[in-house]
Amino acid sequence: MSRAGALRGDGLARGMRIGLFGGSFDPPHAGHLHVARTALRRLGLNQVWWLVSPQNPLKTSPSGDFQRRFNAVRTLATQPGMHITDIESRLGTTRTIDLLTHLKTRHPGVHFVWLMGADNLAGIHRWAHWPQIFRSVPVAVIARPQDAVRARLSRAATQFATSRIRESEAAALPLQSAPAWTYLTERLHSHSSTALRARH
């Protein structure tokens, strides 16, 4: 998919299952790839879109050079079904709810699922209009070791406890009406972008 492909909807057909995986990816690492691969396989997705954000709105320090981060994701996520896009930059937003509203309006027949690591579930209550994200599309949370307990006890997990579906039924998540979410556990990677930057 080209950079503009997600914005135009190139190659999308009704009924497709698309995972949306957003982040600054500064830098992208094996933990990110673990999230994307797990979701692709366990949720029966047709594609995972890596949404490279121009800036993390929750961080005061600027994200690294966008082109460098975009190219790094493209180098990492090479397996079939992985697509890298700068749709947030093209839409002029860093707010997840704005992106979801655009995609759902433009592609009403596509089943979108928001993907994130357990660390994001633990802190999603700081995102703009975060309950609307859960009410907009199904959400899949992929376990990471250092955040598992904190994520399960998070404000979001508590508020939407009755909307959680069993991990054994995760393959049906993309077809569920929001709010619906699941917590996937798999072999874990403890890599983090912060740790990787500290080594260089």
Is residue 32's pLDDT more than 70?
A: yes
Q: Lowest-pLDDT range, 34-43, 124-133, 143-152?
A: 143-152
**pLDDT: is 147 or 68 the higher one?**
68
pLDDT band at 145 (very low <50, low <70, confident <90, very high): low
CATH number at residue 50: 3.40.50.620
Taking all residues of the chain, what is their mean pLDDT, rounded to a whole number? Answer: 86
The pLDDT score that the predictor gives to residue 143 is: 83
Around Cβ 188, how many Cβ atoms within 10 Å? 16
Domain count, the chain: 1
H runs (alpha helix) in the chain: 5-8, 30-42, 66-76, 87-91, 96-106, 118-123, 130-136, 148-152, 155-159, 193-198
The pLDDT score that the predictor gives to residue 4 is: 44
Is residue 193's pLDDT more than 80?
A: no
Tell me the residue range of the domain where 79 lies: 5-198
